[in-house]
Amino acid sequence: MFVDIAKIKIKAGDGGNGAVAFHREKYVAAGGPDGGDGGRGGNIVFKVNDNLATLADFRYKRNYKAPNGEPGQTGRRSGRRGEDLIIEVPRGTVIREIQSGKVMADMSDDYEFIAAKGGRGGWGNAHFATPTRQAPRFSKPGVPGEEWEVSLELKLLADVGLLGFPNVGKSTLISVVSQAKPIIADYHFTTLTPVLGVVSMGEGNSFVMADIPGLIEGASDGIGLGHEFLRHVERCRLLVHIIDAAGSEGRDPIEDFNTINAELVKFNPDMKDLPQIVVGNKIDLATDEQLEKLEKYFTERGYQYFTMCAPIVEGTQEVINAVAAKLATLPPIKKYEKEEIPAEFFEKNSSGKFTITVEDDMYFVEGEWLLKILQRTDLDDYESLQYFQRVLQSSGIIDALEEKGIQEGDTVVIYDLEFDFVP
């Protein structure tokens, strides 16, 4: 079963809670606080596995959670860190955050991607000891790990995409110019999944060709099979558009060509800029008049036009030579750049709920939405820090702190951020 899109939920491990403990040793009076910090939670990490060809595994498991960090221990010993959870995906998988629609990563190379970071371990009570607070009886809970709902979309990495209505000869072409062995039969929708083939042009020179199945009129609206596979055309550097030059099934090859191009643009307007080479197949069944009409139509519109009879390998080498020459002039396969999810997005979509806990002269502020904003705030950047301060004011957190009786110089702790309050 070929599956090329899936939605899953990922949750990094929470940080372990800090420990509340005091040093106990014979002949040592008032040993002081020695509760250790909690361990960091495990990350969610995506990794490419070239042995995978589809996202089928994600149809049956949709929730992934990394282990939590362990709590801190006595003797100022930190808790054990949670292990990272590795999720393997096929090469070419694009990961998006569903709520914002932003691209988190394009898994097209061999780099691992940390999609959700584990929460930092909470501080033990030894961290809070000061000359005026010598026996703190509180610790800090671990920070929750990042949590996302993401979409996985497999967009095949192919230099060349073969376009054309069913039964025009795409599978036959890829079978005679590469080692790919697609099922070939004289009926529509023989090819049910994209087929990749490596075309060798000599030592050290090759390219990947993909047979994109099932494109017909209405494909972008979900008719036929094409709507499932249009996404795989997006990465191609070059399109080879195959038409039935003889119109052997009663269709007009020029209308077929224009229909499929309209579907491409409807699916993604940027596809109109993809270069195309047009190939008339089944020339053994076409009349001279038909062949002349097609050559005139496409050459007048600036397309490179070739003819072939794929089953007997007539004209196929000329097509492949032209494809290789064109690829040499084109940029590499498209890679989707990472898109930052702005902190403002979480502010606009927040519940606005938060809690404030007071321990001595320390004020602990927590809120799920606030954590997401903090995780995207660069505290070393002045403008970013100013924005976070405005969030604290506009959300009512500053007012709530003042209602709790906070005084100038008291400490505010917001997850990983600790600062002295200045009214």
Mean pLDDT computed over 399-416: 90
Question: For residue 211, how many other CB atoms are within 10 A of its CB?
Answer: 27
Rounded Cα distance between 146 and 101, Å, is 17
Check: CB of residue 109 under 8 Å from CB of residue 98.
no
For residue 201, what are its two tokens?
A: 């042009």
Helix 288-300 to helix 253-267 angle (10° resolution) is: 30
Instruction: Write out pLDDT tens, residues 231-276.
Output: 777 888 999 999 999 988 888 999 999 988 888 888 888 888 889 9
Asked if the model's pLDDT at residue 194 lies above 80, the reply is no
* C-alpha distances out from residue 190 to 53, 165, 166, 170, 173, Å: 19, 12, 8, 11, 14
| H or E segment and range at residue 226 | helix 226-229
Instruction: Write out pLDDT tens, residues 36-86.
Output: 999 999 999 999 998 887 888 898 899 999 999 999 998 889 999 999 999
Rounded Cα distance between 126 and 106, Å, is 43
Rounded Cα distance between 320 and 111, Å, is 32
Task: Kindly state the DSSP code that residue 73 receives in the 8-state scheme.
Answer: B
The set of residues, in sequence order, having a beta carbon less than 8 Å from that of 301 and lying 6+ positions away, is: none
Closest CA to 339 of 105, 108, 60, 84: 105
Model pLDDT, residue 115 = 96
Rounded Cα distance between 298 and 305, Å, is 6
Name the residue with tokens 């073969």. Answer: 162
Instruction: Write out pLDDT tens, residues 17-32.
Output: 999 988 877 766 667 8
Name the amino acid, one letter, at 110.
D
Rounded Cα distance between 17 and 140, Å, is 6
What is the pTM for the complete model shown?
Answer: 0.78
For residue 32, what are its two tokens?
A: 């002081």
Rounded Cα distance between 79 and 141, Å, is 12
Rounded Cα distance between 89 and 61, Å, is 13
Question: For residue 353, how many other CB atoms are within 10 A of its CB?
Answer: 11
Q: Confidence band (pLDDT; 50, 70, 90) for 154? A: confident
Rounded Cα distance between 355 and 375, Å, is 18
Domains, in order of start, for the chain: 1-154 (2.70.210.12), 160-327 (3.40.50.300), 342-423 (3.30.300.350)
Check: CB of residue 72 under 8 Å from CB of residue 120.
no
Check: CB of residue 174 under 8 Å from CB of residue 209.
yes
Top-confidence range, 226-235, 253-262, 414-423: 253-262
Model pLDDT, residue 215 = 54
Rounded Cα distance between 79 and 42, Å, is 13
Per the document, the length of the chain is: 423
Average pLDDT score over the chain: 86
Rounded Cα distance between 110 and 90, Å, is 11
